[in-house]
Amino acid sequence: MSQHENTSGAISHHTALIYVMVLVSAADRDMTDAELLIIGQDVQRLPVFRSYDIDMLPHAAADCAAMLGDEEGLETILGIVKAALPEKLVETAYALACDVAVADGKLSQEELRLLEMLRYTLKVGRLPAAAIERGARARSMVF
């Protein structure tokens, strides 16, 4: 059993959060340096990842990217993420997704569509989603 999995064979909540970030980064088929930097920084600094082995990040990201190559990869990953995330981390997952989406200073139609799919799949309400999106936009502002 790897750190990606729990005793039931499902992925850990850490891995689910990483999958969410990788999904958004890969949505427009262009994983930018800015997006990858945000993923690494979030995993290193956020309390939710405090017990996560940072050396596992490349493996989790590669696993997610490999699944995306499958015909039903996106739907599979969304299902895995939904099953792995406890309710209290749903908004955290959405916030991480938004941070990655705005990391490179532009939002593609594919990223917007994926954020919509995440909101629906994870059942993030309209008001919390709007607040999270506004916060991500505010944090990414440049002068």
Least confident stretch, 7-11, 43-47, 86-90, 139-143: 7-11
What pLDDT score does 9 carry?
59
Confidence of residue 13 (pLDDT cuts 50, 70, 90): very high
Q: How far apart are CA 8 and CA 83, in angstroms?
A: 11
- 12 DSSP assignment: P
d(CA 91, CA 6): 21
Q: d(Cα 81, Cα 129) in Å, to the nearest integer? A: 18
Say if 2 falls within a structural domain: no
- Helix ranges (H only) for 12-108 are 13-26, 33-45, 57-68, 73-84, 90-102
pLDDT of residue 5: 52
CA distance 4 to 60: 7
CA–CA distance, 91 with 2 (Å, rounded to integer): 26
Domain annotation covers residue 32:
yes
User: Which pLDDT belongs to residue 77?
Assistant: 96
Q: Which residue has the tokens 């990223």?
A: 111
Would residue 8 count as lying in a domain?
no
Asked if residue 22 is part of any domain, the answer here is yes
What end-to-end distance do the CA atoms of the chain give, in Å? 47
- Is residue 7 situated within a structural domain? no
| Residue 6 within a domain | no
C-alpha dist (Å) from residue 71 to 24, 25, 84, 123, 130: 18, 18, 22, 24, 31
pLDDT (0 to 100) of residue 4? 54
107: domain CATH number is 1.10.3680.10
pLDDT on residue 1: 39
Does 73 reside within a domain?
yes
Could you report the per-residue pLDDT of 54-99, keeping only the tens digit for each?
999 999 999 999 999 888 999 999 999 999 999 999 999 999 999 9
Residue 142: pLDDT band by 50, 70, 90 thresholds? confident
Q: Does this model's pTM top 0.85? A: yes
Full residue range of the structural domain in which residue 33 is found = 13-140
Q: How many folded domains does the chain comprise? A: 1
Residue 92: name the closest of 20, 141, 26 by CA: 20
